């Protein structure tokens, strides 16, 4: 008598016994076609509600050999066995016939892109090099599988940034060490929550202490406090982390009016500014190539007082021309430079001689592992001031890091702590016409050669030099609707065709597509809500109150106020 074996037993006899696995969740459907390059077609089961599936959601295809193919949904479709059904659909007044058709004559389909594969023996997820067979079951991704792919938020150096779509409560953790290994970018059109997302990332970097941060706070949103669009006050990084974050300002009066606690006021002396610092403003100041060349000539001839003399109205133009008669500069060029440099008089943070060296102060904080936020106050509305100061400070800090890194390589000191520099309106620094003239273009191309990387925040990625865009290791993208910006974000990304549809379907707020160096595969997340009591508690700051707030509450208690709350 011949013994009958089930298909599963025959597969086990051929491939060997499969490792024991927990029972899979409810099945969504089965694979009915596809390819490695185009992705897989999945026919949904009659019990699967198609409205519960969204582009960007994760599913797992459980292969015959124990492999688990981790996939992302890239399209949702309706299909029918007989195309005539589309021409003559059932009468809506007869729900029975519609139920009969559902799942048999008509059904749902999804298209999924395989991203990674989990092998039965365990280990790291691997790139997909094959595909599962016909009729392989497809299931929703479980919490455990998401953690295997992205890591756990409890692990050192990982930080919870959001939940995958349609998987509320499942946490995606970002590997912050990989994030700071290369420059990163946060992109999205205005109003999509870039600033809140950037603030969340910076909070993670400070908490996990994987790098020290220098933040050029153009609109005063990262330091002491800020507001939501609903005028609800939220804590800045200084309130959350106290001694781990220091705030400097260019505009002391603005900081005082806003109640911002600052550790220092930045003043820049004219004698500290070099032609390279002005060169970065060439497009905004309409400086020609001849005039830029004249800046270097003036610096050589007049020394460190070159700007002060050009701006000094009591030093007549004729005297300067007389002093430069034997040079190669033309009088008209000199006059044009004087007029254009006159914009510096509007910036009160510029003076003939600064009382303290701001670079030394900032470097001292960074060397001690203290993160620095530089508020611009009213000067945040001046792009010229923002470009000048950010380029001025970054050039000198980068040069300091280069010296320390080279000394460490020669055995003459320790390596500098990794530094992340955050800049907004990044396309103004990294425009193709000026990127090679700014220190930010140099840093982006160096790939952390000297332990310095960028975190760029921008609503117009198409304005960034394509060569520099290709060096952005991790791209965190909120909704974009401009086609040139979308192309710029996906430049150099494999599988960009499938991901474009995912990006186009993002909500206008609090959703982002993360792809690149810091994540093993692209992921669409509903980002964490910054500024809630739960967020503060998760950072461990609920009990870590500002000492001045504690003293104020103590004084109120001595006056007999707030006893019920106590």
Query: d(Cα 276, Cα 510) in Å, to the nearest integer?
Result: 39
Residues near 549 by Cβ (< 8 Å), separated by ≥ 6?
A: none
Beta partners for 59?
A: 71, 140
Q: Angle 136-137-140 (CA atoms, 0-180°, nearest 5)? A: 140
- The band of 320, judged by pLDDT with boundaries at 50, 70 and 90, is low
pLDDT tens, position by position, 328-372: 567 678 888 888 888 898 999 998 888 888 899 999 999 999 999
268-269 and 350-351 strand pairing: parallel
Beta partners for 113?
A: 72
Whole-prediction pTM value?
Answer: 0.83
Which pLDDT belongs to residue 541? 61
**Is the model's pLDDT at 180 over the cut of 60?**
yes
Name the CA radius of gyration of the chain, rounded.
29
**Is the model's pLDDT at 127 over the cut of 80?**
yes
- The band of 551, judged by pLDDT with boundaries at 50, 70 and 90, is very low
What values do phi and psi take at 484, rounded to 5?
Answer: -70, -35
Tokens of 373: 């936020």
**Is the model's pLDDT at 131 over the cut of 70?**
yes
Query: d(Cα 201, Cα 185) in Å, to the nearest integer?
Result: 11
Give me the percent of the chain exceeding a pLDDT of 90: 36
Q: Hey, which CATH number is domain 174-268+356-538, 3.40.630.30, 1.10.600.10, 3.60.15.10, 3.40.50.300? A: 3.40.50.300
**Is the model's pLDDT at 5 over the cut of 90?**
no
Which pLDDT belongs to residue 318? 55
Out of 13-17, 273-277, 340-344, 414-418, which region has the weakest mean confidence (pLDDT)?
13-17
Give the residue among 114, 152, 122, 147 at the shortest CA–CA distance from 38. Answer: 114
Range 389-411 average pLDDT: 91
Query: d(Cα 417, Cα 410) in Å, to the nearest integer?
Result: 17
Tokens of 213: 């941060």
Query: d(Cα 37, Cα 171) in Å, to the nearest integer?
Result: 29
Query: d(Cα 281, Cα 434) in Å, to the nearest integer?
Result: 9
HSE value, Cβ hemisphere, 13 Å, CA-based, for 512: 31
Range 96-113 average pLDDT: 80
| Mean pLDDT of the chain, nearest integer | 84
- The band of 153, judged by pLDDT with boundaries at 50, 70 and 90, is confident
SS3 call for 525: strand
Asked whether the beta carbons of 391 and 442 are under 8 A apart, the reply is no
- The band of 411, judged by pLDDT with boundaries at 50, 70 and 90, is confident
Which pLDDT belongs to residue 10? 60
HSE value, Cβ hemisphere, 13 Å, CA-based, for 275: 17
Tokens of 238: 């200084």
Give the residue among 466, 393, 375, 389 at the shortest CA–CA distance from 427. Answer: 466
**Is the model's pLDDT at 55 over the cut of 90?**
no
- The band of 447, judged by pLDDT with boundaries at 50, 70 and 90, is confident
Beta partners for 61?
A: 69, 138
Out of 56-65, 110-119, 229-238, 317-326, which region has the weakest mean confidence (pLDDT)?
317-326
- Region of 39 (left: φ > 0; alpha: ψ -120 to 50; beta: rest) is left
């Amino acid at each position: 008598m011949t013994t009958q074996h089930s298909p599963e037993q025959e597969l086990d006899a051929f491939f060997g016994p499969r490792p024991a696995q927990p029972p899979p969740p409810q099945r969504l459907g089965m694979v009915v076609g596809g390819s490695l390059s185009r992705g897989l077609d999945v026919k949904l089961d009659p019990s699967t509600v198609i409205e519960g599936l969204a582009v960007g959601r994760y599913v797992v295809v459980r292969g015959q050999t124990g492999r688990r193919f981790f996939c992302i949904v890239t399209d949702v479709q309706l299909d029918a066995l007989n195309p005539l059904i589309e021409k003559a659909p059932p009468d809506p007044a007869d729900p029975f016939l519609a139920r009969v058709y559902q799942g048999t004559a008509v059904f749902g389909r999804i298209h999924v892109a395989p991203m990674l594969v989990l092998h039965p023996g365990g280990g790291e997820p691997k790139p997909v090099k094959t595909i599962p067979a016909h009729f392989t079951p497809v299931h929703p991704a479980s919490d455990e599988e998401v953690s295997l792919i992205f890591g756990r938020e409890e692990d050192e150096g990982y930080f919870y940034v959001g939940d995958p779509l349609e998987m509320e409560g499942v946490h995606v953790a970002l590997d912050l060490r990989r994030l700071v290994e290369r420059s990163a970018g946060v992109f999205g059109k205005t109003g999509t929550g870039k600033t809140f997302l950037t603030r969340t990332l910076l909070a993670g970097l400070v908490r996990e202490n994987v790098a020290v941060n220098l933040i050029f706070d153009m609109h005063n949103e990262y330091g002491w406090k800020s507001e939501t669009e609903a005028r609800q006050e939220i804590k800045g990084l200084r309130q959350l982390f106290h001694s781990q974050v220091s705030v400097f300002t260019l505009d002391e009066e603005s900081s005082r009016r806003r109640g911002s606690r600052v550790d220092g006021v930045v003043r820049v002396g004219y004698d500290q500014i070099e032609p390279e610092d002005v060169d970065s403003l060439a497009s905004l100041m309409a400086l020609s190539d001849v005039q830029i060349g004249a800046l270097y000539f003036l610096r050589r001839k007049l020394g460190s007082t070159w700007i002060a003399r050009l701006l000094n109205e009591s030093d007549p133009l004729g005297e300067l021309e007389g002093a430069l008669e034997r040079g190669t500069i033309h009088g008209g060029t000199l006059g044009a430079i004087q007029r254009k440099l006159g914009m510096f008089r509007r910036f009160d943070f510029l003076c003939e001689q600064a009382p303290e060296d701001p670079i030394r102060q900032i470097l001292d904080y960074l060397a001690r592992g203290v993160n620095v936020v530089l508020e611009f106050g009213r000067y945040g509305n001046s792009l010229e001031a923002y470009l000048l100061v950010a380029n001025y400070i970054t050039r000198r800090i980068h040069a300091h890091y280069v010296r320390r890194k080279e000394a460490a390589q020669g055995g003459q000191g320790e390596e500098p702590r990794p530094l992340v520099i955050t800049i907004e309106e990044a396309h103004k620094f990294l425009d193709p016409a000026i990127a090679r003239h700014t220190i930010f273009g140099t840093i982006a191309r160096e790939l952390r050669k000297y332990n310095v990387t960028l975190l760029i925040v921008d609503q117009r990625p198409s304005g960034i030099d394509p060569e520099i865009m290709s060096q952005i290791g991790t791209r965190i993208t909120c909704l974009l609707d401009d086609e040139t910006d979308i192309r710029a974000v996906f430049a150099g990304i494999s599988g960009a065709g499938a991901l474009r549809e995912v990006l186009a379907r993002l909500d206008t707020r609090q959703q982002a597509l993360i792809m690149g160096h810091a994540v093993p595969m692209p992921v669409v997340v509903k980002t964490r809500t910054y500024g809630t009591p739960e967020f503060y508690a998760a950072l461990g700051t609920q009990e870590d109150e500002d000492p001045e707030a504690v003293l104020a509450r103590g004084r109120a208690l001595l006056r007999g106020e707030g006893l019920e709350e106590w």
